[in-house]
Structure 1
């Protein structure tokens, strides 16, 4: 195995794998801001079909050694360009999130670019910081996965000269 991380466009055949990956309770707790009911496959598929139909959203499947390991995306949220990613738990701890986000950032040229992570999601914060993001603010919102309000960091990837 060569531990290669490749991004490609998301296709409909990836969706069942994404669905299975997001069922993981530990992953949902870490991500915090997830679907109201992760087990609702119809809602999940409907949500993803809207994403696939929206040309404004950049969405890439993360392949690790030719296996679907997760996805990365860039979209507008709260009026700002933002990135997000999900890596299946079985792929954690191998640098896949950092490598896939780094590759996405080569493709997405918009700056500044933002991301959000629950304050206690140190692994995600570390990935974002390795990719050049800096904490620039704080927010909080209701977490479906935790059934409570959760504090989060807002991170920013600045324009190169900043």
Structure 2
């Protein structure tokens, strides 16, 4: 990541006008394939709206919008799953490969002090695994689950941050 990218990434609270951009990002078939565990029907706007209404109304979920060079690039969040705190992020495909996810997750981890934190990534999502490892996560296990976007069971790594 070059220094220019690092200076152009910031996190802020999610606002209503971010949601159409998040929905648009969710429509990309390649992003869905890489994210693996996605909505059953990414084009279902009612389900998307209900999901985000639930997320934004849940005080136990920490979620931030990722802004890059003044544009909404994606989101990063922390929530409880399987009895553990887990982080996840989503970037619009046009923002991939620029170090934005690493910088955003790093800033988010400065904000979320709870540890340990877990994350999950499909074994073939090398870029996401690298982002997590650059932010201090280490592979601690494996799992598999049904992927709506791939329509079959997918193997994933479980990663943990101290």
Shorter-normalised TM-score: what interval? Answer: over 0.9
Aligned match for 1:118, one of 122, 128, 139: 122
Look up the SS of the partner of 1:49 in the other structure: helix
Name the counterpart of 1:75.
79
Question: What count of residue pairs does the alignment treat as equivalent?
Answer: 157
Instruction: Determine the structure 2 residue equivalent to 1:143.
Output: 147
Match of 2:112 in 1: 108
CA apart distance, 1:21: 0.5
Q: State the match for 1:11 in structure 2.
A: 15
1:1-162 equivalences under 5 Å are 2-3=4-5, 4-158=8-162
User: Which 4+ residue blocks in structure 1 deviate beyond 2 angstroms?
Assistant: none
Aligned-partner SS, 2:60: coil
Structure 2 gaps, min length 5 = none
Q: Structure 1 length normalisation: TM-score? A: 0.96
Superposed CA RMSD: 0.7
Query: How many angstroms does 1:12 deviate by?
Result: 1.3
2:66 & 2:111 partners in 1: Cα distance? 14
In structure 1, distance between residues paired with 2:57 and 2:15: 11
Gaps of 5+ in 1: none
CA deviations over 1:11-36 (Å, ceiling 9, x no partner):
11100000000110000000100000
Q: Alpha-carbon deviations, 1:126-145, whole Å to 9, x = none?
A: 00000000000000000000
